[in-house]
Amino acid sequence: MAKQLGFYFDASACMGCKTCQVACKDKNDLPVGVNFRRVWQYGNGSWVPSGKLWTPNNVFVYSVSVACNHCEKPSCAEVCPTGALAKRADGLVLVNADQCVGCRYCEWACPYGAPQFNEAKGVMTKCNGCEDLLAQGQNPACVDACPMRALEFGDIAELRAKHGNVNAIEPLPVATLTFPALVIKPHRHAQASGKGMGRIIDLVEEA
Ligand code: SF4
Ligand code: SF4
């Protein structure tokens, strides 16, 4: 099997602090509204009065941190009309800005919302795995920033051997769309992709 780099995310450890999102934003000097890594709170339920108390009714919430998953079947690259999006030998899916014509097809095709359009430059941008840091033997910025050590990056076969094969929980899509290079340790309340009873509850902040 060809080399494939990818992320591990421990949803059972993530506390939703968004330090990873901010570290990515800082590393890549991203404008307002552009986030290569995003952290979503997914939950549901209600509190109901019971005498003088309020009691939980199916209340749950957990956080999911997601960037580009450098998918093994990248739908972004499949729809790109110029070949600007392509998979490198190490599995990273990268954008060649010189070839990008700003049509935004990849943005529509990616089920993870990973491609982020740079209005000022008129080209698509996204997570490149911090390829400059990788070349120096370092981790992507998000990985080292996480105070809970909820993120790892490396050879996906090694990450799977270490952490298992779960690669989809709500609110992420089912993995059979693009086969993400992603391993997840689910939160105890995690819902199966496509069968979730919750919703993303911080979309306004996300915007
Ligand atoms: S997460 Fe989206 S942008 Fe990244 S490789 Fe997969 S399909 Fe492409
Ligand atoms: S920095 Fe770590 S704990 Fe905080 S949101 Fe990101 S993954 Fe979760």
Distance between Cα 132 and ligand 2 center (Å):
22
Structure tokens at 150: 């909820």
Residue 11 in this model has a pLDDT that exceeds 70: yes
Mean pLDDT of 61-74: 98
Q: Whose CA is nearest to atom 4 of ligand 1?
A: 68
- The preferred substitution site among 5, 71, 96 for testing ligand 1, maximizing ligand atoms within 8 Å of CB, is 71
Beta bridge partners of 124: 117
Burial of 81: CB neighbours in 10 Å, binned 0-12, 13-18, 19+: exposed
What pairs with residue 57 in β-bridges?
A: 46
- What band does 98 get if pLDDT is binned at 50, 70 and 90? very high
Instruction: Give, rounded to a whole angstrom, the gap between the first and last alpha carbons of the chain.
Output: 39
Atom of ligand 2 nearest to the CA of 15: 3
State the pairing for strand pair 116-118/123-125: antiparallel
Q: On the CB side of 133, how many CA atoms lie within 13 Å of its CA?
A: 16
For residue range 105-142, list pLDDT tens digits in order: 999 999 999 999 999 999 999 999 999 999 999 999 99
